[in-house]
Chain A
Amino acid sequence: MSNVHNDYLGAKIGMWLFLFTEVLLFGGLFLLYAIYLHQHPAEFHKASKELDVLLGTVNTVVLITSSFFVALSISALQQGKVVLCKRLLTATVGCALIFLVIKYFEWSAKIHHGIYPDSDQLLLRPAGEIVYFGLYYVMTGLHGIHVIIGGAVLLYALRLINAGRVTADNFIFLENSGLYWHLVDLVWIYLFPLFYLIV
């Protein structure tokens, strides 16, 4: 019988199961996207031109790099390189902040132009464009919330490392936090082409 209080594989299985719930949560939104793209292809293509591909690409690179950093931080900790681990972890959170700042600018630009849910301007547009921007705000919004949660979790992991409770011999909390962060990256890997690149 595995020791309940120190079951590495059990903790990892539990985290993967939780990730599945996130996949299905976002999955419902991807389902809606798929259907509406099928129903309004031309309008989706037209509306997506209003998004800034450069900003989207930068954000994609930022998140991929943040995943890279957190993966390195785990390897570092496993090799006993605690200081390097903490620096990489901090860099990961830094990337998260950059992502959020860019998102903030994207959203405020749109809102400034009167493109937001239920706005008079938006409602004048064809149905497919209204739906496109509805999905844009809901999906990137929910994703943004997860970026914030993920960042907070990583900061907490950093705190536990500082307190000596996450170590080279007991790093499952960091590993699981990393898994969560990678999921945030994965969702964006799909959001990016679906919203920015179907021009």
Chain B
Amino acid sequence: MSAEHHHIVSFRQNTIIWLVLLVFTAITVAASRFDFGFLNIVVALGIATCKAGLVTLYFMHLRYEGNLIRLMVFIAFAILAIAIGFTFFDVAYR
């Protein structure tokens, strides 16, 4: 296994990601002070997804994994999206 090349994320890159995450946290707290109407939830979840993306791609290394694992991650989240989305066919149209 040591013969395989392992991409090592540098301390510097990890730190930058951490700082960006903190900035996003500050932004999302600040944004919650304003009322964008129904966009409130969109903004909040949008920022959360940016943060989640950074954690997944960099801390969890997904950016450096092969297509197989990336496809699997996509499938898992797609199934979740379908489950929630299709339930709204019921709830939103009652």
Direct contact, A vs B (beta carbon within 8 Å): yes
Do A193 and B44 touch (CB < 8 A)? yes
* Cβ–Cβ contact B8 & A193, under 8 A: no
- With A31-B84, A39-B91 in contact, is A24–B22 under 8 Å at CB? no
Within residues 1 to 26 of chain A, which ones have a CB less than 8 A from any CB in chain B? 6, 8, 12-13, 16-17, 20, 23-24
Complex Cα–Cα for A178 and B79 (A)? 24
By size class, the interface of chain B is 35 or more
Query: How many inter-chain residue pairs (CB < 8 Å) link A and B?
Result: 123
Tell whether A16 pairs with B22 under 8 Å between CB atoms, given A24-B76, A72-B14.
no
In the bound complex, CA of A17 to CA of B60 (Å): 14
Distance between A153 CB and nearest chain B CB, rounded to angstroms: 15
CA distance A53 to B28 in the complex (A): 11
Interface residues of A, CB < 8 Å — how many?
49
Partner of B51, one of A30, A78, A189: A189
Q: Are A197 and B91 neighbours in the complex by a CB distance under 8 Å? A: no
Interface: B67 (CB within 8 A): no
Bound complex: CA of A191 vs CA of B68, how far in Å?
29
For B84, the chain A residues whose CB sits under 8 A away are 27, 30-31, 34
A107 within 8 A of B: no
Find out whether the CB atom of A16 lies under 8 angstroms from the CB atom of B32. Answer: no
Contact partners of A64 in chain B: CB under 8 A = 18, 21-22, 25, 51, 55
Binding site for A on B (CB under 8 A): 1-2, 4, 6, 8-11, 14-15, 17-18, 21-22, 25, 28-29, 31-32, 40-41, 44-45, 47-48, 51-52, 55-56, 58-61, 65, 68-69, 72-73, 76-77, 79-80, 83-84, 87-88, 91-92
Closest 5 CB pairs of A and B: A197-B32, A193-B44, A20-B76, A68-B18, A27-B80
Known A13-B69, A64-B18; further 7 A-B contacts with Cβ < 8 A: A23-B76, A35-B88, A64-B21, A78-B6, A178-B60, A182-B60, A198-B32
